[in-house]
């Protein structure tokens, strides 16, 4: 994985599922190719194959469960997600929080399946706690800033610095309110290796313009 990394979480927005997910992912791939900045997308599990089979960029599932092969109707099997073409998975997003004992099992299962794991946390302290589970990256997203108009980079830069101190150099992504090149530039300046965002892209009238702007901050 080449850093810096920009990952867009498509969540379950109407503008970012099905065919729309594919079209939005294609913009990410095109701009990543143009700029040399690594971009990834976190899609609904049902969209992993559609996107991964047609777009050359890291595709993440938004979640996987702790199950192994067997009778587990309705669960998301890590191996199935991997075979669908996923490069990795998000875990413990603020909208899909897991008890830490379950999170540890989920990280383990995801890694066994060959998935790159990004664990989301709300504070640097939580990040230092889940580091022992062995995720590849930890995305720190202060809950109060998620989906807002002010970014963690401008409102809480000390959170980024503290996260790098407590979690380690080369392990920290940040999210919450990331929307432009300056947000990305500041996040990297304070020690993050990437950013995680959602509505700044999925709700944008011209997402390709926003992506190009974000890439400028990472260049």
Active-site pick, 93, 122, 126, 162: 93
Residue 141 designated active-site? yes
Continuous segment of H or E residues that includes residue 93: none
pLDDT digits (tens, 9 = 90+) for 146-163: 877 789 999 899 999 999
Q: Where are the domains of the chain?
A: 5-218
User: 89 with 48: CB under 8 angstroms?
Assistant: no
Name the one residue in this structure whose structure tokens are 């000390």.
158
Give residue 28's pLDDT.
99
For position 144, what pLDDT does the model report?
A: 85
Q: What does pTM read for this prediction?
A: 0.97
Res 175: pLDDT: 95
100 is catalytic: no
Length of the chain measured in residues: 219
Query: Which residue among 28, 63, 122, 141 is the active-site one?
Result: 141
Look at residue 65 in the predicted model and tell me its pLDDT: 99
pLDDT (0 to 100) of residue 147: 75
What pLDDT, on the 0 to 100 scale, is given for residue 146? 81
Which positions of the chain have pLDDT values less than 50? Answer: none
d(CA 54, CA 181): 28
Distance CA 93, CA 95 (A): 5
Q: Does domain 5-218 have CATH number 3.30.70.20?
A: no
- pLDDT the model gives residue 21: 99
Report d(CA 139, CA 124) in Å as an integer.
Answer: 9
Distant-in-sequence, close-in-space partners of 187: CB < 8 Å, separation ≥ 6: 152, 153, 160, 174, 178, 194, 195
Q: What is the pLDDT of residues 75-113, one digit of tens each?
A: 999 999 999 999 999 999 999 999 999 999 999 999 999
């Amino acid at each position: 994985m080449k850093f810096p990394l920009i990952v867009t979480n498509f969540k379950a927005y109407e503008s970012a599922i099905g065919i729309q997910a594919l079209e939005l992912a294609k913009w990410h791939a095109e701009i990543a190719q143009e700029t040399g900045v690594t971009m990834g997308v976190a899609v609904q599990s049902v969209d992993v194959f559609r996107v991964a089979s047609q777009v050359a960029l890291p595709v993440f599932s938004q979640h996987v469960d702790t199950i192994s092969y067997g009778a587990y109707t309705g669960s998301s099997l890590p191996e199935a997600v991997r075979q669908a073409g996923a490069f990795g998975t998000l875990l413990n997003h603020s909208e899909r929080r897991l008890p830490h004992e379950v999170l540890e099992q989920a990280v383990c299962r995801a890694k066994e399946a060959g998935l790159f794991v990004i664990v989301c946390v709300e504070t640097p302290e939580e990040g230092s706690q889940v580091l022992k589970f062995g995720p590849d990256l930890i995305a720190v997203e202060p809950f109060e800033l998620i989906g807002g108009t002010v970014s963690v980079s401008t409102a809480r830069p000390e959170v980024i610095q503290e996260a790098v101190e407590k979690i380690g150099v080369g392990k920290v992504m940040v999210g919450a309110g990331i929307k432009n090149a300056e947000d990305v530039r500041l996040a990297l300046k304070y020690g993050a290796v990437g950013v995680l965002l959602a509505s700044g892209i999925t709700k944008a009238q011209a997402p390709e313009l926003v992506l190009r702007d974000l890439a400028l901050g990472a260049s």
